[in-house]
A and B are shown apart, each in its own frame.
Chain A
């Protein structure tokens, strides 16, 4: 019987980008504070330092609260299926959303991908040639989302176990395809 997934958390790409930027900002601010304390010791408290401390504290609380509510898996592994937000732009490949691996036509009309609790699948799919990796990931996520709880772990493990061989086969096929195209 298909597993009914909870409602997908609605979000826009822009909001996700802002959230990432703010999380990175907070990390950098805190790193700066840690480095300052390490090298120069505690700042002697005065009026301005309390303002700065308050500002930093408010940013920290705000970002943690917002990040926790959004729960996008950036820092916390999602406990339920949520919309996928990729943390780093340079890791992106092609379009996203439910069209992941379904070609450019699907990308225009489809909604967001439903991500499950299989974070290892995504990096593995990136080792495969572009469209093939996207298709493999989309199929794996689709199957795992519908599999019974008992089967899911074994299925995910089998996907991961077969991945190295599949990566090799896919790259060999891709290289031979490229070579043929080059020779023509």
Chain B
């Protein structure tokens, strides 16, 4: 089942799709999308439950790194395909609508 494609979901997908193989952790993702972590987290959880995204804990020693381990997210192969399709689908109606408006303007 596809997730509900809200603007926030599309922003997350867009950030993850920028470099599909690259893993992003929470803070990076919030910086790239401009979303607050409280908004981004449920979206990532939902995308992960639906198999679009996969995640893993960073394997570091917090005492050595002097920071807690990060959780990295990346798109799965099928998730990347579905996300590209979803983003393309989301862009299309807007451009169609704009063309329609331009057409109406031209008629007047």
Q: Interface residues, chain A, CB within 8 Å of chain B?
A: 2-5, 7-8, 98, 102, 106, 110-114, 135-136, 138-143, 145-147, 154-155, 157-163, 165-166, 169, 173
A4→B67 CA distance, assembly (Å)? 7
Chain B, Cβ-Cβ closest to A147: B27
B67–A165 contact, CB under 8 A? no
B38–A98 contact, CB under 8 A? no
User: What's the minimum C-beta distance from A111 to chain B, rounded to whole angstroms?
Assistant: 5
A111–B42 contact, CB under 8 A? no
* Known contacts A4-B67, A138-B71, A169-B42; A98/B37 CB under 8 A: no
A8–B63 contact, CB under 8 A? yes
* Known contacts A166-B41, A173-B49; A143/B57 CB under 8 A: no
Q: Interface residues, chain B, CB within 8 Å of chain A?
A: 25-27, 30, 36-39, 41-42, 45, 49, 57, 61-63, 66-71
Query: Which residues of chain B are within 8 angstroms of A114 by Cβ–Cβ distance?
Result: 62, 67-68
A158–B69 contact, CB under 8 A? no
User: What's the minimum C-beta distance from A163 to chain B, rounded to whole angstroms?
Assistant: 8
A159–B38 contact, CB under 8 A? yes
What are some 5 contacts across the A-B interface (CB < 8 A)? Answer: A2-B67, A138-B69, A139-B41, A142-B25, A159-B38
A143–B26 contact, CB under 8 A? yes
A98–B36 contact, CB under 8 A? no
Partner of B57, one of A8, A106, A154: A106
B68–A98 contact, CB under 8 A? yes
A147→B71 CA distance, assembly (Å)? 14
* Known contacts A146-B27, A160-B38; A139/B61 CB under 8 A: no
A162–B66 contact, CB under 8 A? no
* Known contacts A111-B62, A146-B27, A147-B27; A98/B69 CB under 8 A: yes
A155→B41 CA distance, assembly (Å)? 11
B38–A161 contact, CB under 8 A? yes
B36–A155 contact, CB under 8 A? yes
Query: Which residues of chain A are within 8 angstroms of B38 by Cβ–Cβ distance?
Result: 155, 157-163
B42–A143 contact, CB under 8 A? no
Query: Which residues of chain A are within 8 angstroms of B30 by Cβ–Cβ distance?
Result: 143, 155
A140–B37 contact, CB under 8 A? yes
User: What's the minimum C-beta distance from A95 to chain B, rounded to whole angstroms?
Assistant: 14
A145–B69 contact, CB under 8 A? no
